[in-house]
Amino acid sequence: MEKKPFVTLEQAQALAEAYPTPFHLYDEKGIRENARKVREAFAWNPGFKEYFAVKATPTPRLLQILKEEGFGVDCSSYTELLMSKAVGQAGHDIMFSSNVTPPEDFKLAAELGAIINFDDLTHIDFYETVAPFQETMSCRFNPGGDFKINNEIMDTPADAKYGMTRAQMTEAFRKLKSKGVKHFGIHAFLASNTVANEYYPALARILFQTAVDLQKETGVHIAFINLSGGVGVPYRPEQQPNDILAIGEGVHKAFDDILVPAGMGDVAIFTEMGRFILAPYGCLITKCIHQKHTYKEYIGCDACAANLMRPAMYGAYHHITVLGKEHAPCDHKYDVTGGLCENNDKFAIDRMLPEINIGDYLFIHDTGAHGFSMGYNYNGKLRSAEVLLREDGSSELIRRAETPQDYFATFDFTHLFDDIK
């Protein structure tokens, strides 16, 4: 699949005059079109709802756009709950899935009327000391072992810290039922960033059968099944993208095969995608400010791992387009680096690219999820601006760049001047 930037060199140059590089840029048109395709893929299920994973891109303006497209939010912390409240999300439009949860987080989630998804059996008694039980609550399931598709191991749930065992799910449902809970949800996340149309359908079959069995064992009403996230994007050009319409139809078939015959055709399907919703519709725009010629050829950018951590942290691949040179031969081998005092601060290693000159603009693809959100301030680096490319071609600053004043704002300097009269 050819990786095409959603802005031209001329557009990037114009944006950089208003918003100095580096900055994260988001494509409103692409976001809305993709959101509508997701809803189309699951339109067969009347109760379907996508709860966007706020952790992927905690940016209020983008959350507002997704809310306009009918999405809820998946929150995992106190501040994510506050942000969701600020953009108008409330009640069952909020899913609260957390782990090692502080009491104040549970308390706020309950006050907002969010659907609370328990990660652990012991959290039920802990929650009771914090807030009243609600009519609708959920539990997170971890089946253990290896998760396989077509005999290929996709991930190893047994090694994950999340979720309950099968026996614990039964105990949790019975306990919650005794507390007055009337409607139940089942949630699971078994693999990350899958580029396989079979993932959701395979996960759905596991959860649908678990739901049938749990209903028989406990007599509870299972209102929804949450397939969580894990649907990925093709970071590499040679990868084929997921077909969300095919994925939706695969889940539909599993639903008809398992839930409908069991008399559970009223179950709503929920998803919590983050990466699939936004990653391809965001990029990091950065400028080449240095070249270094030693044992290797280095391109030094004004962005660094503090703006995009994934390559340094995971060795993750992010495609790079040199704007204005989209059709030039990739006949130069570079390490593309930032300015942190860490040798892993590299966006690309031994990457074949067109010749890059100082002043060239680089478009680093697929940063719309887990891009800005993973930023940090090591070396005193400041987080960049976030900019929205509107559907009409105009731009909107949706988060300003940090300043040194922001960096120092949490310090109390008063004691430094105690001896000064």
Average pLDDT over residues 326-351: 97
d(CA 211, CA 188): 12
Q: Which pLDDT band holds residue 403 (cuts at 50, 70, 90)?
A: very high
Look up tokens 């400028």; give the residue. 287
Average pLDDT over residues 245-255: 98
The confidence score (pLDDT) of residue 81 equals 98
Which runs of E-coded beta strand occur in 42-143?
49-53, 72-75, 94-97, 115-118, 136-140
d(CA 157, CA 152): 14
Mean pLDDT of the chain: 95
- Asked if residue 419 has pLDDT above 70, the reply is no
Average pLDDT over residues 152-158: 74
Average pLDDT over residues 208-236: 97
3-state secondary structure of 33: helix
Q: What are the structure tokens assigned to 72, written together?
A: 């809820």
| Overall pTM surpassing 0.75 (yes/no) | yes
Amino acid type, 226: N
Of 302, 316, 390, 417, give the one whose Cα is nearest residue 20: 302
d(CA 28, CA 21): 20
Give 159: exposed, middle or buried? Use CB within 10 Å, 0-12, 13-18, 19+.
Answer: exposed
Domains and CATH numbers, the chain: 28-279 (3.20.20.10), 280-408 (2.40.37.10)
Angle at alpha carbon of residue 108, lines to 376 and 383, rounded to 5°:
15
Q: Which pLDDT band holds residue 418 (cuts at 50, 70, 90)?
A: low
d(CA 352, CA 330): 5
Q: Is the dihedral of CA 98, 102, 103, 104 positive or negative?
A: negative
d(CA 92, CA 64): 16
Q: pLDDT digit string (tens) for 101-110?
A: 999 999 999 9
- Asked if residue 162 has pLDDT above 80, the reply is yes
Give the Cβ contact number of residue 301 at 10 Å. Answer: 26
Average pLDDT over residues 244-263: 98
- Asked if residue 255 has pLDDT above 60, the reply is yes
Q: Residues 310, 346: contact at Cβ < 8 Å?
A: no
Q: pLDDT digit string (tens) for 25-76?
A: 999 999 999 999 999 999 999 999 999 999 999 999 999 999 999 999 999 9
The confidence score (pLDDT) of residue 2 equals 87
- Asked if residue 421 has pLDDT above 60, the reply is no
Q: pLDDT digit string (tens) for 174-193?
A: 999 999 999 999 999 988 89
Average pLDDT over residues 208-224: 98
The confidence score (pLDDT) of residue 264 equals 98
Q: Which residue has the higher pLDDT, 152 or 174?
A: 174
Q: pLDDT digit string (tens) for 348-358?
A: 999 999 999 99
Q: What are the structure tokens assigned to 84, written together?
A: 């969701």
Q: Which residue has the higher pLDDT, 347 or 155?
A: 347
Q: Is the dihedral of CA 408, 412, 416, 417 positive or negative?
A: positive
Average pLDDT over residues 79-86: 98
Average pLDDT over residues 299-325: 97
Q: pLDDT digit string (tens) for 357-399?
A: 999 999 999 999 999 999 999 999 999 999 999 999 999 999 9
Q: What is the DSSP letter of 258?
A: I
Give the Cβ contact number of residue 167 at 10 Å. Answer: 9
**Helices (DSSP H) in 362-408: which residue ranges?**
404-408
Q: pLDDT digit string (tens) for 262-301?
A: 999 999 999 999 999 999 999 999 999 999 999 999 999 9
**Bridging pattern class, strands 23-27 and 282-293:** antiparallel
Average pLDDT over residues 230-256: 97
On the CB side of 75, how many CA atoms lie within 13 Å of its CA?
A: 32
- Asked if residue 417 has pLDDT above 70, the reply is no
Q: Which residue has the higher pLDDT, 192 or 170?
A: 170
